[in-house]
Amino acid sequence: MMEEQPLIVNPIDRVPFLDQIRSSIPKGGAYAGWEELGQIYTAKKGFPLVVYGAPHSGKSVFVLNLLVNLSRQHGWKHLVLSSEQGSVDDLTLEISEIYLRQPVRKFDEKGNARQGVADDASFYHAQEWVAEHFRFIDPTAERCQSFTLADFHSWAREVEESGFRLDTTCLDPFNDVQPELPRFGGRQDLWLTQVLKEARDEAAKYNRLDILVKHIAQQQQTMISERGQRFSPPALMSEIAGGQSTGRRAFTVLLVYRPPSNDLLKFGKHVVQTRHGESWIICQKAKPRGAAQLGQAILYYDQDTGCFCERTDHDGKEKYYAGELRAGSTPKQSDLWA
């Protein structure tokens, strides 16, 4: 029988372990596929990750790219509940496009034939790959119409009991979770504080990266770009729905921010020239040590494939898909970056 861990600890009893930690390199998380993002973030199991952003900022598709990268790089498996990406079939097709890095839908929204569509063999291969690495919760299912975070965690355990070992879960958006306010005297802040603690405990217990996708509650400021576009600056953690509790309880927090493209932005004395499809991934809280650090990464969204790429040349004509910079492969050319 395993000996119970003592509640009260005398630090002198930990000297051998402290010496070992002192002489070791802090362990980071798993490489997330982009060299640019890898400077500020690695995917650490055993901890939650909060990803947030304004509407249409690309936070959901960024998370899907991240999951595909983790499967491609490390073979990770995921459970996804996403009520904002359409049906489970729509979600499967979107992940297939990210995996193949080319369109799989034969027609666009206007009924026009799309160019560069994956052939049937590639499409069926993508379906097999998605089935190997993903399980989905159907947001239209009756059990999903009103659920708590504890319900979501129980569904993850159902998946694992079926033999599908999870490395990550993704709940998108977190505000689909039913707040249990009567338990906390009607106070949402107390409920959110407790539920985020439960998220931390669950991730640690099952050694998973549990991703919670959240919205911005309200941004307070509007600015005007050089081309006359109205935009808001990158949000602060206090602007997340339930920001104060999230800021205190969360481990790593990533903001996905999409500035106006091909424009000149002025933040006080700081001037930024943006490019087509530019997206900023900003790490606003970094825990645990070694897994992340405060800072910003710039990626570029390719609407045709749903992929986030990174680009390193001066003219912006070369793009690198996730993993290509580390692999040292020759970048592909695309008119998108011309």
Going by pLDDT thresholds of 50, 70 and 90, the confidence category of residue 314 is low
Give φ, ψ of 240 to 5 degrees.
-65, 145
* Average model confidence (pLDDT) across the chain: 88
What does the alpha-carbon distance between residue 231 and residue 149 come to, in Å, rounded to a whole number? 33
Strand 134-136 vs strand 78-82: parallel, antiparallel, or unpaired?
parallel
**Percent residues over pLDDT 70 in the chain:** 92
Residue 265: half-sphere exposure toward Cβ, Cα within 13 Å: 19
Contact 208, 167 (CB under 8 A): yes
What does the alpha-carbon distance between residue 44 and residue 210 come to, in Å, rounded to a whole number? 10
% helix, strand, coil for the chain, step of 5? 35, 25, 40
Higher-scoring residue by pLDDT: 277, 338: 277
Centroid of chain to Cα 94: 15
Going by pLDDT thresholds of 50, 70 and 90, the confidence category of residue 141 is very high
Higher-scoring residue by pLDDT: 165, 267: 165
Contact 275, 309 (CB under 8 A): no
pLDDT digits over 33-82, tens only? 999 999 999 999 999 999 999 988 999 999 999 999 999 999 999 999 99
| pLDDT of amino acid 26 | 61
CA angle at 165 for the pair 161 and 169, rounded to the nearest 5°: 100
What does the alpha-carbon distance between residue 308 and residue 37 come to, in Å, rounded to a whole number? 11
Q: Which CATH superfamily is domain 44-257+282-288 in?
A: P-loop containing nucleotide triphosphate hydrolases (3.40.50.300)
Residue given tokens 């004395």 in the structure block: 269
Helix axes 88-100, 120-133, angle to 10 degrees: 110
What does the alpha-carbon distance between residue 59 and residue 255 come to, in Å, rounded to a whole number? 8
Write the burial class of residue 120 (CB in 10 Å: 0-12 exposed, 13-18 middle, 19+ buried).
exposed
Mean pLDDT of the 202-224 span? 90
pLDDT digits over 19-31, tens only? 877 776 567 799 9
pTM of the model: 0.89
- The beta-carbon contacts of 22-26 under 8 Å, at least 24 apart in sequence, are 25/290, 26/289, 26/290
What does the alpha-carbon distance between residue 31 and residue 38 come to, in Å, rounded to a whole number? 6
Closest CA to 203 of 237, 243, 242, 249: 249
Instruction: Count CB-CB contacts under 10 A for residue 14.
Output: 12
pLDDT digits over 81-125, tens only? 999 888 999 999 999 999 999 999 999 888 899 899 999 999 999
